[in-house]
Structure 1
Amino acid sequence: MLKRKSIGLLGAFVLLIAIIGGQAKTVPCKLKDVKYGKVCVCTADYCDYLDNPTLSKDDDFAIISSSKQGLRFELNTGSFGSKDTYAIEDYVEPASKFAASNDTILSKLWDQAIDSIFSQSATPASSITRSVTLKLDRSKRFQKIEGFGGSFTGAVSYLLNNFKEQDIQDHLYKSYYAADGLGFNLLRISIGGCDFDLNPWAYNEEPQNEVVLTGMDKLHERDVLRVGQIKRMKEVSGETNLRIKGAAWSPPKWMKTNNEWTGFGQLKREYYQTWANYHLKWLDLMESNGLPIWAISTGNEPLNGIFFMFFVKFMSLGWTPQMQAVWLNDYLGPTIRNSKHKDIIIFGNDDQRFTSPLWFKMMNRTRPNSVDYIDGVALHWYWDEIFGNSFIHKTNKYMENKIQIISESCIGDKPWQKAAPLLGSWERGEKMARSMMSHLQDGFHGWIDWNIILDEEGGPNYVDNFVDAPVIADTITYTEFYKQPMFYVMGHFSKLVPEGSVHIEAVASNINLDCIAFIRPDNKIVAVLFNSGRADLDITIVDTIRGELKVNVPAKSIHTLYYN
């Protein structure tokens, strides 16, 4: 039986010594009860991390678990071949909580050890248990994974700059991008401003009507700060292969037909080449400042400036597919492919999935083979509950063998959702789990979430466009931030699934379990197991090479299984 690990007095002492000596990477979550559930608290001197597990023997496995009840990246280990069922015990509320924030690390670890010892016998037995068999076949392989990531907006940059100590900024960077964090490798940034800035802005607002773009000879003052922060993130996280995707919301107003940041406005025809050059100069600018770019898109949510201007009040540039086909085929495509950045990935659409099938069909009608300049399809998840996976399948007819990623996702954008963080909400974490699972099962190669941190209101930004985020800052003191269930849910997919992993067949015998599996470049297997039901679940895992493993997982929980 696998039980929730008790670090005990000796373990607490060892962990304390390791922290002081700078050796430990695994640090437990400092759990806090909040309005909608539980969060993990990070301060300048304390933040939770989980070192990636090691497998010493061929039949070893490790399983990382999170649950609504309160497990957060709980690590257990065992071996294939046992006839026993390994039970992942759910979190039990301790008799005493972590002490106040001014307590020492030793006192926190001591309290955790005592709570863990005395809570073992208090674990309630589940009254209902369901069962499922999961068959994994590593010989049946599908798409290769590009990676996972988040977005570094102006709002993120502003919040980070307001934290009182560099150490707490570094904890956020490492929590997402370090190996003992979520292991992210993708990052989305705006080319100029976006809806999550404190003001709309673009490069080369001045001088106006100037096609040489002399205003792009150096970093904009806003990007001086942001580029410095991203470089710091790379340094402290150890992510040496950060893959950055850029997307433009709007050019400077003088390039647009309505001379406004938002509303019904398109690119003036005389500036088609200038706008292509703008992208090229931005690539040069980022590279010369130490941030080489992996990919760009043809523009964020192009229909916002055509049909949705009555609802969208933030920066946008309207395109029809016919107009964008001309710009891509005659201007942007040749400009990029004939430059030193010729190998950069170009993503098309960067909008909701319901727009994509007709979008690429009409592009190809306008300029036959214009989509040949496009290497991938970037979609946003915002209306997926209404527009099903059939839109993805229809898109594939026109964009076969292209990279597919989700390039933006957040919760709180719908009229029926609260437009603000629901601090500690497990239900919002489950929504993310279902969507990530569904897209990866449907052949997607990666996932980029929206803001990596927001404030308590879900901002800041210049249009009061408030949403939720995986991490929320305490802006009263700027001395701590809170990791939500969404943060850990994303990590169950990203942490042990590096770039180059391949989706393999994983078939559950019934609907009690949602799952997906991968074979990594080192040939180890990772399976994400999601039990959204209200009952415990007995899972019999059958691997074509390793054999059989039986695991019992608690209700409302998600797990990452890792084995040879």
Structure 2
Amino acid sequence: MTKKIKVIQTAKDTEDRLTEKNTLEFKKEAVAASAAFEIKRDQKAQSITGFGGAFTEAGAYTLAQVPSELRDEVLEAYFHPEKGIGYSLCRTHINSCDFSLGNYAYTETEGDTELRDFDLSRDEEYLIPFIKDAMAVEGAEFKLFSSPWSPPAWMKTNGRMNKGGKLKKEYWQTWADYFARYIKEYQQRDMDIWGVTIQNEPMAETPWDNCIYEDEEERDFVKVLGPTLKEAGLEDVKIMVFDHNKDIMKSRVDTIFTDPEAAKWVWGVGFHWYGEDDTKDIVDDEVLSYTYETYNKELVFTEGCNPLFDADDFIGEWWTGEKYGRHVIADLNHYTTGWVDWNLVLNEEGGPNHVQNYCDAPIIVDTQKNKIHYNSPYYYLGHFSKYIKPGATKIGVASANDELLITAFENPDQTTAVVVMNEKDEAQEFSLKEEGQAVKITIPAHAIQTLVY
């Protein structure tokens, strides 16, 4: 039986934006093309957890400033499986982050080790309604994990949420209890927390909310958090470590995973893209393969964005989307199970951000003009999130070409999704082969395609 291939395309200098093109067919006869790819279905690797972005107070506040129809459009664009791009794995923050309106914690009472004053009212103003509205989108189904940027100031050695400092040893158990309380409070509001990371960027001393953990400190805190969650009946909550730049990842995973008493509590490793040389055509991801093959732990890209210096420079830019596509393909080809962008939405300044650490987002909402800008990363990410479903299995691709980037997955419904990306200034012709059949496809310059069959 001849297989038909549906081609979905986004291309620069065209109107193609996740546009379904002509249906093609595999043919038995030989197909000549300058590039050849062959699907190797027997070469199976990781299963997909999901794709998505982060719910932040900044994004929530931004959408609260515009008419409800714009808010609804943005939420549908991300979470509707057909009209949108079907996000399935998302992140949010415990306490404040830089993309909050200011520093805050759920209890700021000095020495509140019993968490008597624990209060989610700040989240209930903007953040929780944002998440719940996304959950209410027709067909929406996503997992949610949470990351702290900083414990309350009174738990830290520097007495403040910003600019470094460490978690005081006498508050390690209190902080673990804080995680459990947070998860249960969200559960009581009909929001399940699927997972947590120990700490966002634990090696970064920044002007905004942060907390430093050396390798051994994160290893030892896992031994407190894991049993605490289990005792609270939350043993199914996934614990991820590191949550920082993968170019400094190896010593962290070696320290944690060579200790069986720490490793047993950890489901996976979160990583970011900052600190890498973005001039390289292909991202250096050997540390991901090392981690997966050595320790058999799951890998999730937990944050990435383009820093923003002038919002006007980013609206409509194409290289930003290509950067996303390049990283997603490289990470997926090195055992990554989930890929989560940073802010889902920001305002026309790339904020709000309480320390002016502005950045780009796939969707920018101009709150002054009540206008939505869909930037190229939105479409590039959609080529993965909409067509590679949770539970999909990575399958092999034999490549005789290094001009194009490619990755392939078999979905739970037995459909196949192949993503091909061309960063060159010229169109490229390639053949896709499987089981003695082949099809010839042309991909335009600066384009990305998802092939579904």
Instruction: Tell me which interval the TM-score lies in, with the shorter structure as reference length.
Output: over 0.9
Verify the 8 A CA contact 2:194 2:237 in the aligned structure 1.
Answer: yes
Q: CA deviation at 1:482?
A: 0.8
Q: Which runs of 5+ in 1 are unaligned?
A: 1-56, 87-128
Q: Please say which structure displays the higher CA radius of gyration.
A: 1
**In structure 2, what is the equivalent of residue 77 of structure 1?**
22
**Does the residue aligned with 1:303 lie in a helix, a strand or coil?**
coil
Verify the 8 A CA contact 1:154 1:197 in the aligned structure 2.
Answer: yes
**In structure 2, what is the equivalent of residue 125 of structure 1?**
none
Q: CA deviation at 1:184?
A: 0.7
Q: Deviations over 1:334-367 (max 9, x none)?
A: 10122221111000001111232111323356x5
**In structure 1, what is the equivalent of residue 61 of structure 2?**
158
Q: CA deviation at 1:456?
A: 2.2
Between the aligned partners of 2:232 and 2:312, the Cα distance in structure 1 is 43
**In structure 1, what is the equivalent of residue 100 of structure 2?**
197
Q: Which runs of 5+ in 2 are unaligned?
A: none
**Does the residue aligned with 1:215 lie in a helix, a strand or coil?**
coil
Q: Work out which of the residue numbers 3, 7, 11 in structure 2 matches 1:67.
A: 11
Q: Deviations over 1:171-224 (max 9, x none)?
A: 11111111121111111000111010110111101x2211111222x4223334
Change (3 A) 1:519 1:544: same
Q: Work out which of the residue numbers 110, 124, 140 in structure 2 matches 1:223.
A: 124
Verify the 8 A CA contact 1:540 1:551 in the aligned structure 2.
Answer: yes
Q: CA deviation at 1:144?
A: 0.5
**Does the residue aligned with 2:351 lie in a helix, a strand or coil?**
coil
User: Is residue 541 from structure 1 mapped to residue 426 from structure 2 by the alignment?
Assistant: no
User: Is residue 338 from structure 1 mapped to residue 231 from structure 2 by the alignment?
Assistant: yes
**In structure 1, what is the equivalent of residue 220 of structure 2?**
326
Between the aligned partners of 1:79 and 1:59, the Cα distance in structure 2 is 9
Between the aligned partners of 1:318 and 1:553, the Cα distance in structure 2 is 46
**In structure 1, what is the equivalent of residue 179 of structure 2?**
279
Verify the 8 A CA contact 2:299 2:336 in the aligned structure 1.
Answer: yes
Q: Work out which of the residue numbers 419, 422, 426 in structure 2 matches 1:531.
A: 422
**In structure 2, what is the equivalent of residue 391 of structure 1?**
287
Q: Work out which of the residue numbers 138, 145, 158 in structure 1 matches 2:48.
A: 145
Q: Deviations over 1:480-516 (max 9, x none)?
A: 2111111000011111111000111112211122111
**In structure 1, what is the equivalent of residue 440 of structure 2?**
550
Verify the 8 A CA contact 1:345 1:375 in the aligned structure 2.
Answer: yes
Q: Counterpart amino acid of 1:219? A: L
Between the aligned partners of 1:200 and 1:243, the Cα distance in structure 2 is 26
Between the aligned partners of 1:198 and 1:409, the Cα distance in structure 2 is 20
Alignment of 1:391-470 (within 5 A): 391-396=287-292, 400-412=295-307, 422-470=314-362
Between the aligned partners of 2:348 and 2:427, the Cα distance in structure 1 is 34
Between the aligned partners of 2:93 and 2:361, the Cα distance in structure 1 is 18
Q: CA deviation at 1:317?
A: 1.0
Between the aligned partners of 1:130 and 1:425, the Cα distance in structure 2 is 31
Q: Work out which of the residue numbers 201, 207, 211 in structure 2 matches 1:317.
A: 211
Between the aligned partners of 1:352 and 1:418, the Cα distance in structure 2 is 24
Q: Counterpart amino acid of 1:148? A: F
Q: CA deviation at 1:82?
A: 5.3
**Does the residue aligned with 2:347 lie in a helix, a strand or coil?**
coil
Between the aligned partners of 1:69 and 1:485, the Cα distance in structure 2 is 12
* TM-score relative to the length of structure 2: 0.93
Between the aligned partners of 1:283 and 1:539, the Cα distance in structure 2 is 48
Q: CA deviation at 1:391?
A: 2.8
User: Is residue 301 from structure 1 mapped to residue 193 from structure 2 by the alignment?
Assistant: no
Between the aligned partners of 2:33 and 2:433, the Cα distance in structure 1 is 17
**Does the residue aligned with 1:486 lie in a helix, a strand or coil?**
helix
User: Is residue 188 from structure 1 mapped to residue 88 from structure 2 by the alignment?
Assistant: no
Q: How many residues align?
A: 447
Change (3 A) 1:526 1:509: same
Q: Counterpart amino acid of 2:414? A: N
**In structure 2, what is the equivalent of residue 43 of structure 1?**
none
Change (3 A) 1:352 1:418: farther
- Name the stretch that deviates more: 132-141 or 520-529: 132-141
**In structure 1, what is the equivalent of residue 273 of structure 2?**
381
Between the aligned partners of 1:243 and 1:421, the Cα distance in structure 2 is 33
Q: Work out which of the residue numbers 223, 239, 246 in structure 1 matches 2:146.
A: 246
Change (3 A) 1:347 1:314: same
**In structure 2, what is the equivalent of residue 111 of structure 1?**
none
Verify the 8 A CA contact 2:288 2:336 in the aligned structure 1.
Answer: no
Percent identical pairs in the alignment equals 29
**In structure 2, what is the equivalent of residue 175 of structure 1?**
77
Q: CA deviation at 1:85?
A: 12
